């Protein structure tokens, strides 16, 4: 995905009459990407990835152990594995 600056540069260069192939060369992307970006009225929003945090179910326990000044991750991991 191109940056917002690239998006606006593509729009500006096209309004000034630049060819799509020249815009693609200048930006460093494919002609197809330039055509696609020219169709958008606004820069496309970046998609956020939702990923499952593996430690989330154990966060309360980890926080408790850290509050008890147990900072050794191997010890905490062994305790979680034993649960």
Q: Quote the pLDDT of residue 56.
A: 86
The Cα–Cα gap between 11 and 6 comes to 9
Per-residue tens of pLDDT for the chain, all 83 residues: 889 999 999 999 999 999 999 999 999 999 999 999 999 999 988 887 777 688 888 999 999 999 999 999 999 999 999 98
Q: Are 76 and 62 in contact (CB under 8 A)?
A: yes
* Per-residue confidence (pLDDT) for residue 50, from 0 to 100: 75
Burial of 37 (0-12, 13-18, 19+ CB in 10 A): buried
Report the distance separating Cα 31 and Cα 14, nearest Å. Answer: 12
Instruction: Say if pTM beats, i.e. exceeds, 0.95.
Output: no
């Amino acid at each position: 995905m191109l940056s917002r600056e690239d998006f606006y540069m593509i729009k500006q260069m096209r309004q000034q009459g630049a060819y799509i192939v020249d815009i693609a060369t200048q930006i460093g992307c494919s002609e197809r990407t330039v055509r696609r970006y020219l169709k958008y009225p606004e820069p496309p929003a970046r998609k956020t990835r939702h990923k499952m945090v593996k430690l989330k179910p154990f966060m309360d326990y980890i926080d408790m152990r850290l509050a008890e000044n147990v900072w050794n991750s191997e010890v905490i991991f062994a305790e979680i594995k034993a649960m």
